[in-house]
Amino acid sequence: MDVVRTSKRLSFVLRHRPDSVGLVLDPAGWVDVDQLLAALRLTREQLERVVATNDKRRFEIAGDRIRAVQGHSVAVELGYAPERPPAQLFHGTVERFLPAILAEGLRPQRRHAVHLSPDVATARTVGARRGRPVVLRVDAVRLADDGAVFSRSANGVWLVDAVPPSYLTVLDD
């Protein structure tokens, strides 16, 4: 079994298209492990290896259920408690999105939330998936003080509904 390929397949099914293999997520994104194993033709041992070795700890198993910890495009209520963010958070993107981002702010696009990183290095890696990365600093505490609700996924990604442009600063390289 190719661990990375299987992880990508799991992300696809548990975040975006559970229906593609006949699964239905519960409202918090969980699905029965045995059903997932049958649908993906995996053994429990293979699944546990993918979950345990995943570089970004993208999945969590609790009892007989499994879910992706963030990154969904299907509607889910992950249930992470609201949490006060650090003073600053970061978002990695690419130059071509900047005009839109600086005009309308960060939007979740296809996902259920805007994803923010706790440090510049992580944000740069996220942006680099699409080209030369550009990092934005988010004035997170001010945004929280102004009423935005932040939460943090089980793998340390900060989530928020949106970030208006006035809370964003483009960092120099």
22 vs 75, beta carbon nearer ligand HQG: 75
Asked if 121 is part of the footprint of ligand HQG (rule: CB under 6 A), the reply reads no
Asked if 67 is part of the footprint of ligand HQG (rule: CB under 6 A), the reply reads no
Smallest gap from Cβ 97 to ligand HQG, in A, equals 4
Name the CA radius of gyration of the chain, rounded.
17
Interface with ligand HQG (CB under 6 A), residue from 101, 113, 140, 160:
101
Q: Which residue has the tokens 């996924």?
A: 153
DSSP state of 172: P
| Site track 142-161 with ligand HQG (rule: CB under 6 A), x = hit | ---------------x----
Give the SS3 label for residue 120.
helix
Angle (CA) 115-22-45 rounded to 5° is 75
Where does residue 15 rank: exposed (0-12), middle (13-18), buried (19+ CB within 10 A)? buried
Binding residues for ligand HQG, rule: CB under 6 A, are 56, 58, 71, 93, 97, 100-101, 104, 106-107, 109-111, 115, 126, 130, 157
